[in-house]
Amino acid sequence: MISRSEQRFIRINLITIIVTLLVILAGGIVRSTGSGMGCPDWPKCFDRYIPPTDISQLPANYKEKYVAGRIKKNEKFAKYLESMGKKELADSIRHDQTISVPEEFNPAKTWTEYLNRLAGVLAGIFLFLTAAYSFIYKKTAKRIIVLSVLNVFVVGYQAWLGSIVVSTNLMQWVVTVHMLLALVILAISIYTYNYAKQLHKEPSVIMYRIAWLKGFMFFTLAVSIAQIILGTEVREAIDVIAKSLLFNERNTWISKVGSVFNYHRDLAILVVISNGIIYKMVIDRFSGKAAPLLTARFILLTLLIQVLSGFILAYISLPPFAQALHILFSTMLFSLQFYLFLLVYRTRTYKQ
84-139 pLDDT, tens per residue? 787 777 777 777 777 777 777 888 888 998 998 899 889 999 999 999 999 999 98
The pTM for the full model equals 0.87
Residue 227: its pLDDT value, please? 92
Highest mean predicted confidence (pLDDT) among 226-230, 281-285, 336-340? 336-340
Which residues are 349's β-sheet partners?
Answer: 206
The percentage of the chain sitting over the pLDDT mark of 90, rounded to a whole number, equals: 38
What is the C-alpha end-to-end distance of the chain, expressed in Å?
Answer: 29
What is the residue-averaged pLDDT of the chain?
A: 86
Domain 203-352 has CATH 1.10.4160: no
* 3-state SS class at 205: strand
* 3-state SS class at 39: coil
Q: Which long-range contacts (CB under 8 A, 24 or more apart) does 123-128 make?
A: 123/16, 123/19, 123/20, 123/22, 123/23, 123/155, 124/155, 124/159, 126/12, 126/15, 126/16, 126/19, 127/16, 127/20, 127/151, 127/152, 127/155, 127/185, 127/189, 128/152
Is residue 104 within 8 A of residue 175, CB to CB? The reply is no
CA distance 31 to 322: 12
CA distance 68 to 205: 62
**Where do the domains of the chain lie?**
1-201, 203-352
pLDDT digit string, tens, across residues 246-265: 778 888 888 888 888 889 98
CA distance 186 to 219: 19
